[in-house]
Amino acid sequence: MLSIWGILAPMNAPRTARERARAELTAEITDAARRQLADVGPTDLSLRAIARDLGMASSAIYRYFASRDALLTALIVDAYDSLGEAVEAAEALVDRGDHLGRWMTATRAARAWALDHRHEYSLIYGSPVPGYAAPTDTIDPAGRVGLVVAAILADAAEAGVLGMVAGPQPVDGLIEPGVVDQLGADPAHAAAGVQAWTWLFGAISFELFGHYNNVVVDPDEWFDDAMARLAHLAGLTA
């Protein structure tokens, strides 16, 4: 995964030893922070505790992250990017004309990532961290899975296989015009796409946070059925 702390430079310009050392220590800090997330959760994330874990002076860690919130932001962006990369990579392997297959593959990849990265998933889709306000740096990474959904629907619309979506009331004006334009579909399809994106993570969250216990017999089959129904809701039938 490409770290947000990577240094953008021409490919023929190698990093200096100082830059390599800083990148390596930054990675060590974020790895230690992820371990701490598993132990105490994001609310009790502590730069001092991480410094102790790495054998650093507590003052030294602030040269890499100015505050706990800066470290949280790095972890959040990395988590969104890791999730986005997993979904994008899986979906890219499916034939471009198989729109339903692309949707099912993308949603399964999102669930698989969440099951393998429970604490990172909880950080980005669980309870808000008291006192923390996510900066705009998190917006683009947070939308990566949504863009995959948008691309699938847009391609289906262009191919003429995006079915009609019926709803109880008009949805004009409920979705930002830019989102409708990006989907390349009408407002009803745009609304259905946003709802499907929302319900995808709702289904994953219910499973990860234990809300399906004593309710769902086979989580794998349940998820696939739910995603197929969501695809139909969005007009994606082929």
CB 136 within 8 A of CB 127: no
Give strand pairing partners of 162: 236
CB 144 within 8 A of CB 76: no
Name the pTM for this structure.
Answer: 0.84
CB 84 within 8 A of CB 117: no
Closest CA to 32 of 11, 57, 10, 53: 53
- Report the sign of the C-alpha dihedral through residues 112, 113, 114, 119, in that order: positive
* Cα–Cα distance, 183 to 139 (Å, whole number): 18
Amino acid identity, residue 50? I
* Cα–Cα distance, 158 to 44 (Å, whole number): 48
Give the pLDDT confidence score for residue 5 in this predicted structure: 41
Closest CA to 43 of 130, 145, 171: 130
Give the pLDDT confidence score for residue 2 in this predicted structure: 45
Amino acid identity, residue 217? V
String of DSSP letters for 7-34: PP--TTSPPPHHHHHHHHHHHHHHHHHH
pLDDT tens string for the chain (238 positions)? 444 444 444 555 566 877 777 788 889 999 999 998 888 888 888 889 999 988 988 888 888 999 999 999 999 999 999 999 999 999 999 999 999 999 999 999 999 999 999 999 999 999 889 889 989 999 999 989 988 988 888 888 888 887 766 555 556 667 777 766 765 566 777 777 788 888 999 999 999 999 999 999 999 999 999 999 988 887 887 6
* Cα–Cα distance, 227 to 232 (Å, whole number): 9
